[in-house]
Amino acid sequence: MSEERKIPYKIYLEEDEMPKAWYNVRSAMKNKPAPLLNPATHQPMTAEELGGVFCSDLVAQELDNDSAFIEIPQEIREFYKMYRPSPLVRAYYLEEKLGTPAEIYYKFEGNNTSGSHKLNSAIAQAYYAKKQGLKGVTTETGAGQWGTALSMACSYFGLDCKVYMVKVSYEQKPFRREVMRVYGASVTPSPSMSTQVGKKINAEHPGTTGSLGCAISEAVEDAVTHEGYRYVLGSVLNQVLLHQSVIGLETKIALDKYGIKPDMIIGCAGGGSNLGGLISPFMGEKLRGEADYDIIAVEPASCPSFTRGKYAYDFCDTGMVCPLAKMYTLGADFIPSANHAGGLRYHGMSPVLSQLYDDGLMRAVSVEQTKVFEAAETFARVEGILPAPESSHAIRVAIDEALKCKETGEKKTIVFGLTGTGYFDLVAYEKFHNGQMSDYIPTDEELAQYASRLPKVD
Ligand X SMILES: *Cc1c(COP(=O)(O)O)cnc(C)c1O
CA angle centred on 26, ends 307 and 46, rounded to 5°: 100
CB of 194 to ligand X, least distance (A): 25
Rounded CA-CA distance 402/398 in Å is 6
Nearer CB in complex with ligand X: 136/271: 271
368-370-374-375 Cα dihedral, nearest 10 degrees = 20
Q: How far is the CB of 135 from ligand X (least distance, A)?
A: 26
Min dist. Cβ of residue 390 to ligand X (A):
3
CB of 256 to ligand X, least distance (A): 24
CB of 405 to ligand X, least distance (A): 25
Q: How large is the angle between the packed helices 351-358 and 273-287, nearest 10 degrees?
A: 50
- Structural element, H or E, at residue 299: strand 294-300
Judged by CB, which is closer to ligand X: 242, or 344? 344
Closest C-alpha among 391, 62, 331, 40 to residue 211? 331
Return the number of other C-beta atoms located less than 10 Å from residue 109's C-beta.
Answer: 29
Could you tell me if 301 and 366 are in contact, meaning their C-beta atoms sit under 8 angstroms apart? yes
Of 153 and 197, CB closest to ligand X: 153
* Shortest Å, Cβ 349 to ligand X: 8
Q: Which C-beta is closer to ligand X: that of 224 or that of 386?
A: 386
User: Which residues, listed in sequence order, are joined to residue 188 by a DSSP beta bridge?
Assistant: 164
Q: Give ∠ CA 42-45-50 in degrees, rounded to 5.
A: 140
Minimum CB separation of residue 435 from ligand X in Å reads 25
Residue 389 Cβ, how far from ligand X at the closest point, in Å? 8
Rounded least distance, CB 147 to ligand X, Å? 10
Pick the closer one to ligand X by CB: 262 or 270. 270
Nearest CA-CA partner of 37 in 280, 316, 423, 276: 316
The answer to whether 150 touches 233, Cβ cutoff 8 Å, is no
By beta-carbon proximity to ligand X, the closer residue of 188 and 273 is 273
User: b/e map of 315-347 (b: 16 or more CB within 10 Å)?
Assistant: bbbbbbbbbbbbbbbbbbebbbeeebbbbbbbb
For residue 59, give the H/E element and its range.
helix 56-63
Residues that bind ligand X (CB under 6 A): 116, 118, 145, 235, 268-274, 344, 388, 390-391, 419-420
- For ligand X, which is the closer residue by CB, 235 or 302? 235
Distance CA 58, CA 50 (A): 9
- Shortest Cβ contact with ligand X: which residue? 420
- Compare residues 202 and 235 and give the one whose CB is closer to ligand X: 235
**H/E segment holding residue 222:** helix 212-224
Least distance in angstroms from the C-beta of 411 to ligand X: 29
165: which strand partners?
Answer: 141, 189
For ligand X, the closer of residues 341 and 388 by Cβ is 388
Please, which residue, 37 or 388, has the CB nearer to ligand X? 388
| 385 SS3 class | coil
